Amino acid sequence: MKLYDALFDRVLTRTDAEQAHHAAFRAIRAARPVTGRALRTGRRPVHAMGLTFPHPLGLAAGFDKNAVGIDALAALGFGHVEIGTVTGLPQPGNPTPRLFRLPADHAIVNRMGFNNDGAVAVAARLAARQAARLARGLHEPSRRGPIVGVNIGKSKVVPDGDQAAVQADYEKSAGLLAPYADYLVVNVSSPNTPGLRSLQAVDRLGPLLEAVRRRADAVTQARVPLLVKIAPDLDDADVLAVAELATGLGLDGLIATNTTISRAGLVSEPAVVEGIGAGGLSGRPLADRSMEVLRLLRKAVGDDLTLVSVGGISTVDEARARLEAGAALVQAYTGFVYGGPLWPRRIARGLAGGFAG
C-alpha cells in the first residue's frame, strides 16, 4: 500500500471530510517552496481559446474556492487551476456536515452551497497575487505560471426567478473578477443552490451569458474567454440545445460536467448513501455519463468550441480517453483527493508520453 493510500484509509476516512480538506490544503500551501523546486512535470502544451496551457490537466473548481493556493496547487503539477465557485456576495454555504466520502465508489458527495468569501474579497486576493508576480518579474510568458480560470455562480439570496437580479449578480462577479482571469466560467449547474439549474434552460441562459460577456468586455483590455459549465443530468436534447446556444453566442468553450444528483450504480451500502442525503456526486460513478456528454458535445459543435472534460478521471488512460474523444483539456477534483499530492504530476507526465496508469 502506498503511503498516501495508507494515510487516506487509516486517518482521513476517519476524519470529517471538510476538516480533512482544510488541513490538506494548508499542508499543500506550506509545502509550496519544496514542491515548486521539485516540479518536473511533463510538457504537452495545449493551445486553446487563445491561451497556451502547459499541459491538458487542470484542477476543477471547488478545491480552491477563494484563490488562496493557486501557485501551491500548480506546484503539485496542475497546468491550470480553476478557482471558485465565487459568488457576488460572500456566503457561508449550507450547514455542516456537507462533504462526504464514498471510498467504495471512489466518489465524493458534497452540498457545500457555494461557500466563499465573495467576489470583492477574491478579486482583492487575485489583484495582490498579480502585483506580487509583477514585482518579481513573473509576468513574462516563459515564467507565467498556471493558467487561472475563475468560476462564478449565483448568490443564494438572489431569487432564482428574478432574471434581472440574477444577471446583475453574475455581472457583479464578472466585473470584479474578469480582469484577473485567464478564462471565465459561468456555473449554472451545481445542484446545491436552489433553483440554479433552472438557469440552464436556453431561454434564460442566453441572456445571462450575453450579460456576462458584455460586462467582462467592459472591464478588460484583452478579450477573456467565456465558458459555461453544464450538468450531467441534462437529457441529451438539452445538452444539444446548450451546445447550439453556445455556438450561436460565440462562447469559447463548455465544461462538461458538474456533479450529479443521481445515485445509480453505487456499490456503497444503501444505508450509508441514504444517510448522507442530498448533494452532488463526483468521482468514478460519473465517468460514463461525463464521457457521453463530451461525445455529444464534440459531435454537435465540431471544432468551434473548446471542450473541457471533468468527471470520474482517475488514471492517465482515462484522461487520455477524454482527449481522444474530443476534449482539449481535462480537469479533476475527486481523482486528486483519492490520488494524493503526487497524482497531478503522475497524470501530467503520463499524458506527455511518460507512462500510463
Cβ–Cβ < 8 Å for 282, 259: yes
Task: Report whether 229 belongs to an annotated binding site.
Answer: yes
Listed residue (314, 313, 265, 266) closest to 291, CA to CA? 313
256: cell is 462538461
Task: Report whether 87 belongs to an annotated binding site.
Answer: no
Task: Report whether 161 belongs to an annotated binding site.
Answer: no
Catalytic residues: 190
Listed residue (76, 98, 78, 103) closest to 12, CA to CA? 103
Measured CA to CA, the distance from residue 5 to residue 8 in angstroms comes to 5
Task: Report whether 312 belongs to an annotated binding site.
Answer: yes
Q: Please confirm whether the linkage preceding 15 is cis (ω < 30° from 0).
A: no
Cβ atoms within 10 Å of 121's Cβ, excluding its own: 15
Task: Report whether 335 belongs to an annotated binding site.
Answer: no
Task: Report whether 13 belongs to an annotated binding site.
Answer: no
Task: Report whether 151 belongs to an annotated binding site.
Answer: yes
Task: Report whether 41 belongs to an annotated binding site.
Answer: no
Rg for the chain, CA atoms, rounded: 19
Determine whether 268 is exposed, middle or buried from the number of CB atoms within 10 Å of its CB (0-12, 13-18, 19+): middle
Task: Report whether 114 belongs to an annotated binding site.
Answer: yes
**β-sheet with 107-110: strand ranges across:** 99-102, 107-110, 280-283
Task: Report whether 29 belongs to an annotated binding site.
Answer: no
Task: Report whether 66 belongs to an annotated binding site.
Answer: no
Task: Report whether 65 belongs to an annotated binding site.
Answer: yes
Cβ–Cβ < 8 Å for 210, 170: no
Task: Report whether 112 belongs to an annotated binding site.
Answer: yes
Task: Report whether 259 belongs to an annotated binding site.
Answer: yes
- 161 Cβ neighbours under 8 A, 6+ residues apart: 195
**Annotation: binding site for FMN:** 61-65, 85, 151, 187, 229, 257, 283, 312, 333-334
**Annotation: binding site for substrate:** 65, 110-114, 187, 192, 258-259
**Annotation: binding site:** 61-65, 85, 110-114, 151, 187, 192, 229, 257-259, 283, 312, 333-334
